[in-house]
């Protein structure tokens, strides 16, 4: 099975790389005995249809990297040593309590999704098969784009529940339509952050920066404005485009949001820094 899909524009390339780490739903056979979870949980904890929302971005000049595996296999928006002893046995970097690190053992709703901790060898197998190739691809693309354009812009594409769930720090709190995460405006040039803000506000959407998501591993790790790598995480409220109970798409709303995102990708690609 393919771990991720990498699509480059045929022509009109821009410095924009869209990475989609959490839309995948696949759990390969080799990991199924180590993951015990319902199909509903897989969909509930995925950034469902975010890959569909950015479909067509390559025609607007962006490169798109989309993971195919569920985040229950490996969470690509975490550091590779982000785990605890109940997740991986005898790991030297284990934290005191991290049930949803680079490998999840508990779902957002609090259900166990691992029957037992992984051995160090099985954990490393997942990293070698899934995590390291994905982040190797991000780094390679950012290097390539910076060499061509003088800078690169990483859009970390995500979605979020409309209301914080039981496993979230903001449980029960209604969220904005769009949450750009730049860790206090430190991971991207101000003009990028301001463009994203104004683009969504002009469409009538509510925007709240860094709350409740400041930008995860990819934004923090690749957001290096002094090195001409810029990163911004964009969290979209799922209620904008999907029924959060049935996971059915709101087709007309999804298409409107897709066109809005494609417009943003195009604007980012022509931005002068």
Whether 173 has a pLDDT exceeding 90, the answer reads: no
CA dist., res. 98 & res. 79, Å (int): 12
Tell me: the pLDDT tens digits for 106-148?
Answer: 998 899 999 999 999 999 999 999 999 999 999 999 999 999 9
Structure tokens at 121: 């060898």
Q: What is the 3-state secondary structure (H, E, C) of the chain?
A: CCCEEEECCCCCCCCEEEEECCCCCECCHHHHHHCCCCHHHHHHCCCCCHHHHCCCHHHHCCEEEEECECCCCCCCCCCCCCCECCCECCCCCCECCCCECCCECECCCCCECCCCCECHHHHHHHHHHHHHHHHHHHHHHHHHHHHHHCCEEEEEEEEECCEECCCCCCECCECCCEEEECCCCCCCCHHHHHHHHHHHHHCCCCECCCCCCCCCHHHHHHCEHHHCEEEEEEEEEHHHCECCCCCCECHHHHHHHHHHHHHHHHHHHHCCC
Q: In 10 A of CB 78, how many CB atoms?
A: 21
Tell me: the pLDDT tens digits for 78-117?
Answer: 999 999 889 999 888 888 888 999 999 999 889 999 999 9
pTM of the model: 0.96
Bridge-based pairing of strands 178-181 and 229-237 is: antiparallel
Quote the pLDDT of residue 170: 81
All structural domains of the chain = 4-270 (3.40.630.40)
Give, in degrees to the nearest 5, the angle at Cα 260 between 255 and 265.
120
Q: What is the mean pLDDT of residues 3-10?
A: 95
Quote the pLDDT of residue 166: 78
Structure tokens at 83: 């785990």
CA dist., res. 180 & res. 20, Å (int): 15
């Amino acid at each position: 099975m393919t771990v991720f899909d990498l699509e480059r524009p045929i022509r009109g390339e821009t410095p924009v790389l869209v990475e989609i780490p959490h839309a995948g739903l696949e759990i390969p056979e080799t990991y199924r005995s180590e993951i015990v979870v319902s199909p509903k949980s897989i969909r509930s904890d995925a950034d469902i249809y975010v890959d569909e929302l950015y479909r067509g971005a390559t025609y607007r000049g962006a490169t798109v990297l989309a993971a195919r595996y569920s985040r229950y296999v490996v969470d690509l928006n975490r550091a590779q040593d982000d785990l605890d002893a109940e997740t991986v046995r005898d790991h030297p970097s284990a934290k005191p309590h991290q049930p949803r690190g680079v490998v999840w053992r508990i779902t957002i709703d609090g259900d166990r999704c691992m029957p037992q901790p992984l051995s160090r060898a099985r954990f490393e197998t997942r990293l070698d098969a899934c995590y390291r190739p994905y982040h190797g691809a991000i780094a390679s693309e950012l290097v390539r784009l910076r060499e061509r354009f003088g800078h690169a812009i990483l859009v970390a594409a995500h979605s979020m529940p409309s209301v914080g769930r039981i496993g979230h720090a903001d449980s029960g709190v209604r969220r904005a339509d769009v949450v750009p995460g730049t860790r206090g405006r430190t991971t991207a040039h101000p003009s990028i952050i301001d463009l994203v803000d104004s683009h969504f506000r002009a469409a009538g959407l509510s925007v709240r920066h860094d709350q409740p998501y400041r930008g995860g591993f990819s934004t923090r790790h690749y957001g290096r404005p002094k090195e001409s790598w810029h990163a911004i995480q964009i969290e979209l409220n799922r209620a904008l485009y999907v029924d959060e109970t049935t996971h059915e798409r709101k087709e007309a709303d999804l298409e409107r949001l897709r066109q809005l995102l494609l417009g943003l990708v195009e604007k980012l690609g022509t931005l002068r820094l």
